[in-house]
Structure 1
Amino acid sequence: MPPLSLLFLALAVSIDSFGAGFTYGLRKVKIPISGCFILALCSGAVLYFSALLGLAANRVLPENASQMIGGFSFVLLGVWALWQILRERKASPQEKKDEQRERILLKFEVKTLGLVIHILKLPTAADLDRSGTIRGMEAVLLGIALSVDAFGAGFGAAMLGLPPLGLACVTGFMSALFVYLGIRAGKGIAKAGWMGRLTFLPGIILILYGLWRLSRPFRHPAN
């Protein structure tokens, strides 16, 4: 069921986009339609590239090996996402400030590269000129930032036989859509305690999907 799998994975890797958009909405930062289009293109391009790498690996590995590696990739990505959330919640206020400061200090290395690292570490800092609007290069950086964590998902999805172009298109569209919806929601909600409980959802979805794909050879053994 490729269409359902594509939607399922795109949802899992795009939920963070809603969180970033929600934060922008609270700050009254806007993103025009052109910015959403650029964001979708960049997110899709990163996913497409990672999926092509997975497709190349899939061609030289046995089918069962590809299924196992792809499934394990999603389980590990999900575990990593949950661990990051738990670590952030357990950190003291001072540790969070120190971590934030460390992220920002990275930009002092090489100017162009350092700026990209800053954005990747902190997607909500993509409004470089503090204009209150995400456009042009800022949308490019935001798209890359939001898709970096999904790089492994694209690789694993291709190894499981999902089409790279379809995955890239659906994920790019959903990332832009979720950022837009997040901004709209953030503008209308000053505080939303229930949002914090949703942060676990992407990791759980990735783990469940990985386990489901790992069980496939046992559910459909080769004759």
Structure 2
Amino acid sequence: MHLITILLIGIIANIDNLAIGCSYGLKKTKISFTSNLIIALLSMLFSFLALLAGHWITHSMTSDFANALGGCLLLIIGGFTITSTFFERSSSFIESQLPFLKILYHPKKADLDENHQISSKEALLLGFSLALNSITTSFSVALTDSSFLIYTLSIGIFSFAFIAFGVKVGGLLQNKMAGLELLAPLLSGLLLILIGCFEMIS
């Protein structure tokens, strides 16, 4: 997988972070440098573990097959990302009782004490929730013979940058927030499908 493609996937995997950052900026909720760093490090950790799992599996298959499989998985993930935007996740009793599950399904609700400040504890929960979004993508990337270091760093860097940028501009997107939350997964899903197709035929 080419360097530009790896960086592009790093961006795609963090588009949700941009929308989340904008949401918090709109609510005037602050995310400190430390909290944002925690989120980025968790994303890097989970992505690296997924890369290791994918790399371990590639030992039992040829490189061509691994590339094709990785591309196929990216295509499937992209399709799922697009279709899932049209289905609202319903809240359950368990979700309402467990803050962890509430944040898992609704990252925008990580400010549990509603003090307009994401604490380190809340950052851990938010980071875990956002990191889960990139696990399957990272696993797929590992099957396509990519650089672990570059990909993992791109995940962390874009995670940090997108959340920070999103918080800054959130206040300027008041009437466009709903459109951004819908556009982000649609755009990321479409790009994953295109990259998946490219990897399958290359």
Q: TM-score, normalised by structure 1?
A: 0.83
Aligned residue runs from structure 1 range 1-223, under 5 A: 2-88=2-88, 99=90, 101-102=91-92, 105-106=94-95, 108=97, 114-192=98-176, 194-195=179-180, 196-216=182-202
Moved more, 74-83 or 123-132: 123-132
Question: Aligned partners of 1:37 and 1:73: how far apart in 2?
Answer: 29
Which runs of 5 or more residues in structure 1 are unaligned?
89-95, 109-113, 217-223
| 1:215 partner letter | I
| Offset of residue 135 of structure 1 | 2.5
Which runs of 5 or more residues in structure 2 are unaligned?
none
Q: Is the 8 A contact 1:26 1:187 kept in 2?
A: yes
Moved more, 73-82 or 196-205: 196-205
What is the match of residue 219 of structure 1? none
| Offset of residue 194 of structure 1 | 4.8
Question: Aligned partners of 1:166 and 1:199: how far apart in 2?
Answer: 23
Q: Is the 8 A contact 2:43 2:134 kept in 1?
A: no
| Offset of residue 202 of structure 1 | 0.3
Q: Is the 8 A contact 2:81 2:189 kept in 1?
A: yes
| Offset of residue 24 of structure 1 | 0.7
RMSD: 1.7
Moved more, 27-36 or 116-125: 116-125
Percent of residue pairs identical: 25
What is the match of residue 111 of structure 1? none
Q: Is the 8 A contact 1:154 1:164 kept in 2?
A: no
Q: TM-score, normalised by structure 2?
A: 0.92
| 1:134 partner letter | I
Change in CA separation of 1:169 and 1:117 when aligned onto 2, cut-off 3 Å: same
Bigger Rg over Cα: 1
| Offset of residue 137 of structure 1 | 1.7
Once the two structures are superposed, residues 160-199 of structure 1 have per-residue CA deviations (whole angstroms, 9 ceiling, x without a partner) of 0112232121111101211111111112332116524344
| Offset of residue 128 of structure 1 | 1.8
Once the two structures are superposed, residues 32-77 of structure 1 have per-residue CA deviations (whole angstroms, 9 ceiling, x without a partner) of 1111111110111111111110011112211122111101110000
Q: Is the 8 A contact 1:123 1:145 kept in 2?
A: yes
| Offset of residue 118 of structure 1 | 2.3
Task: Report runs of 4+ in structure 1 exceeding 3 Å deviation.
Answer: 196-199
| Offset of residue 106 of structure 1 | 2.3
Question: Aligned partners of 1:52 and 1:13: how far apart in 2?
Answer: 18
Question: Aligned partners of 1:71 and 1:47: how far apart in 2?
Answer: 17
Moved more, 185-194 or 145-154: 185-194
What is the SS of the residue equivalent to 2:168? helix
| Offset of residue 107 of structure 1 | 5.0
Q: Is the 8 A contact 1:71 1:213 kept in 2?
A: yes
Q: Is the 8 A contact 1:69 1:159 kept in 2?
A: yes
